[in-house]
């Protein structure tokens, strides 16, 4: 799979494809159905399949503080696109200049001139262009004049409700990891590289791996039972805290810290995948480090008990 960063990197080989456009945050079952249909269309027309995404996501550009929390970083999306068999991804920088493109300019610049698309798949509620003036009917009309077809995408349901990134965020906020897995088709996982931190966990008898989040806001807050996949494929149980660490940190930046149960070793620089299974408690501020240490010890004991239950299911 090729990832093209920006329209200026489009080459003739990328021209003449079938495409879809969206945030694809989470790459849930609804997204996966879209990707499968995109592959089918590409095979039928014997051209490449292309997914068009934006960084940052448009709502993050307009109002980063109130935009929906990120479910997946770009790196995660690209890996999931690759696993879904997509041929190429066009990642467009969503900036002041790009957001000023009219709907007609977007069609001409991106879909016709840059990609020369033959077929486009989008939801019938898709809006685009400056002030979101473009809609599905606009695309259909543009397709007639530019020799590409436009196909609406059907809604995918789980338990009688539409699969959406919004519903997935709500499931995670409620720590309903069973529903989250049903919506995703896989357990919810956050991956990142282990960075050097304050090393406070060592002094509290609970050394932790500080996993890089690369996002300002996160969909989970609290202490959780997790499993961690190491780069060599080994899976280990652990307890994770994700949040702002109010007892030891006055900054509001989110952190993900993971203590692996019954493990010793150096994880710095390694890329870990942290899968969430059950919430143990909310994150809270303690009056002293000794109280924090007691709470961490209780969390670890609880995680051991919960893991024994999960491991025997």
- Please give the model's pTM, rounded to 2 decimal places: 0.90
Distance in angstroms (rounded) separating the CA atoms of residues 79 and 46 = 23
Average pLDDT, the chain: 89
Domain spans, the chain:
2-158, 188-312
For residue range 168-217, what is the model confidence (pLDDT) as tens digits?
999 999 999 999 999 999 999 999 999 876 655 555 567 889 998 887 68
Domain 2-158 has CATH 3.40.50.10490: no
**Tokens for 109?**
């610049």
Decide which of 2.60.40.1930, 3.40.50.920, 3.40.50.300, 2.40.30.30 is the CATH code for 188-312: 2.40.30.30
The tens place of each residue's pLDDT in the chain, 313 residues long, gives 999 999 999 999 899 999 999 999 999 999 999 999 999 999 999 999 999 999 999 889 988 888 999 999 999 999 999 999 999 999 999 999 998 999 999 999 999 999 999 999 987 678 888 878 888 899 999 999 999 999 988 788 888 899 999 999 999 999 999 999 999 999 999 999 998 766 555 555 678 899 988 876 889 999 999 999 999 989 999 999 998 765 656 566 788 999 999 888 888 999 999 999 999 999 888 767 778 888 888 999 999 999 987 765 4
């Amino acid at each position: 799979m090729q990832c093209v960063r920006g329209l200026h990197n489009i080459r003739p080989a990328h021209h003449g494809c079938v495409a879809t456009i969206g945030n694809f945050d989470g790459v849930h079952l609804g997204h996966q159905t879209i990707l499968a249909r995109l592959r089918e269309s590409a095979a039928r027309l014997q051209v490449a399949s292309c997914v068009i995404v934006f960084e940052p996501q448009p709502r993050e550009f307009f109002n980063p503080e109130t935009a929906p929390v990120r479910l997946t970083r770009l790196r995660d999306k690209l890996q999931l696109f690759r696993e879904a068999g997509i041929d190429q991804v066009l990642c467009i920088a969503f900036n002041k200049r790009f957001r000023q493109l009219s709907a007609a300019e977007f069609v001409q610049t991106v879909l016709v001139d840059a990609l020369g698309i033959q077929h486009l798949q989008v939801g019938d509620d898709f809006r685009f262009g400056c002030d979101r003036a473009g809609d599905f009917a606009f695309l259909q009309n543009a397709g007639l004049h530019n020799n590409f077809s436009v196909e609406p995408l059907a809604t995918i349901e789980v338990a009688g409700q539409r699969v959406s990134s919004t519903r997935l965020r709500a499931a995670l906020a409620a720590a309903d990891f069973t529903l989250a897995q049903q919506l995703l088709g896989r357990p919810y996982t956050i991956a990142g590289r282990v960075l050097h931190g304050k090393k406070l966990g060592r002094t509290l008898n609970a050394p932790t791996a500080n996993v890089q989040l690369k996002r300002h806001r996160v969909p989970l807050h609290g202490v959780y039972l997790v499993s961690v996949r190491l780069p060599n494929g080994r899976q280990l149980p652990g307890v994770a805290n994700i949040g702002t660490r109010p007892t030891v940190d006055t900054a509001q930046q989110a952190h993900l810290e993971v203590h692996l149960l019954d493990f010793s070793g150096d994880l710095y620089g390694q890329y870990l995948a942290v899968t969430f299974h059950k919430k143990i408690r909310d994150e809270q501020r303690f009056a002293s480090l000794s109280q924090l240490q007691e709470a961490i010890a209780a969390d670890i004991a609880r995680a051991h008990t919960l893991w024994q239950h999960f491991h025997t299911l």
